Amino acid sequence: MSETFLEIIRRHCGDVGQDGDGRSTRSKNGSGLPTTQPGNFMFATGIECSYPTIGHGRVRRDQLAECGHYDQWRGDLQLVKELGIRYLRYGLPYHLTHVGPDRYDWDFADLVMSEMRRLRIVPILDLLHFGVPDWLGNFQNPELPVHFEAYAGEVARRYPWVRHYTPVNEIYVTAKGSGQDGLWAPQSGTIST
């Protein structure tokens, strides 16, 4: 039987020595900058969480719904655990969580985050991944930065144990293609779901 990827890393580098929150057990408190030591290695996977528009902004697609994640999230997380992957880049469904200015629905997010913690999967929270809540429209909305900042702060307060974030997915593509040019998801235009 051939070695798995993680077995090869352990053979060459030793145990990466991290606890369930991703803190190095070689450090007393998990603080400090990354080094070139093997204990700083992170292998992750992710679940696609885009909420783009297609057809020049006329049709909305929820990729978490399309892949069945809302119904199968427990099984998806269990598969991550069974694969031996400790880190999961995970996009909380921004469009379902941030339901209006200063209004949030944490029901789904709380369930998933609790299960990740129970399984000792270390989340890399993806806060904004190609798609904004319908009430915000698209990246051309000049109020988006204010509302997104409020959302990011609420996520950090709600899950203070999370240490890793992707604040905005593919920042250049998002800023230029989505925000400035309106060509990339979500495209500017009218939306029908």
Tell me the per-residue pLDDT of 119-158, one tens digit each, with 9 for 90 and over: 999 999 999 988 889 999 888 888 999 999 999 999 999 9
Range of the domain at 166: 43-180
Q: What CATH number is attached to the domain comprising 61?
A: 3.20.20.80
pLDDT at 147: 96
pLDDT digits (tens, 9 = 90+) for 159-190: 999 989 988 877 766 667 666 676 666 656 54
Domain-embedded: residue 6: no
Residue 24 lies in a domain: no
Domain presence at residue 13: no
Burial of 66 (0-12, 13-18, 19+ CB in 10 A): exposed
Q: What is the pTM of this model?
A: 0.75
Determine, yes or no, domain membership for 4.
no
pLDDT band at 99; cut points 50, 70, 90: very high
Domain count, the chain: 1
CB–CB of 185/130 below 8 Å? yes
- Is the per-residue pLDDT at 22 higher than 60? no
134 and 186 in contact (C-beta within 8 Å)? no
